[in-house]
Amino acid sequence: MSLRQRREDARPEHHARPGRFEADAVLGVVAREWILYGQSWRATTFAAVVEPTLYLLCFGFGMGALIGTLAGYSYIDFLGTGIVAVSVMFQSMMPAVINTFIKRRFLHTYEGILAAPVDVRELVTGEALWLALRSGVYGCVPLLVAIGFGLRPGPGMLLVPLIAFLAGFAFALFGIWISAVITSVRSMDYVFSGLFTPLFLVAGTFFPITELPTWVQTAAMANPLYHAVELIRGSVFGGLGAGQALLHVAILAGFAYLMWNLAAFQMRRRVVG
Give residues in contact with other proteins (CB under 8 A). Answer: 1, 3, 5-7, 9-18, 22, 24-25, 27-29, 31-32, 35-36, 39, 107-109, 111-119, 271-273
Q: How far apart are CA 168 and CA 262, in angstroms?
A: 16
- Cα 211 from chain centroid (whole Å): 27
**CA distance to 80, 146, 267, 269, per residue, from 150 (Å):** 10, 6, 45, 50
Q: How far is the CB of 235 from other proteins (least distance, A)?
A: 35
CB-based contact 80:162 (threshold 8 Å):
no
Q: How far is the CB of 121 from other proteins (least distance, A)?
A: 11
Q: How far is the CB of 94 from other proteins (least distance, A)?
A: 19
Q: How far is the CB of 136 from other proteins (least distance, A)?
A: 22
Residue among 124, 89, 90, 94 nearest 110 (CA): 124
What angle in degrees, to the nearest 10, is found between the helix axes of 224-237 and 160-181?
A: 170
Q: How far is the CB of 37 from other proteins (least distance, A)?
A: 11
Nearer to other proteins, 36 or 71 (CB): 36
Neighbouring residues of 178: CB distance < 8 A, sequence distance ≥ 6: 96, 97, 191, 195
Nearer to other proteins, 104 or 233 (CB): 104
- Assign 3-state DSSP to the chain and report helix, strand, coil percentages, each to 5: 80, 0, 20
Nearer to other proteins, 258 or 270 (CB): 270
**CA distance to 54, 64, 232, per residue, from 77 (Å):** 15, 10, 12
Nearer to other proteins, 10 or 43 (CB): 10
Q: How far apart are CA 153 and CA 224, in angstroms?
A: 26
Nearer to other proteins, 108 or 152 (CB): 108
Q: How far is the CB of 271 from other proteins (least distance, A)?
A: 7
Nearer to other proteins, 109 or 217 (CB): 109
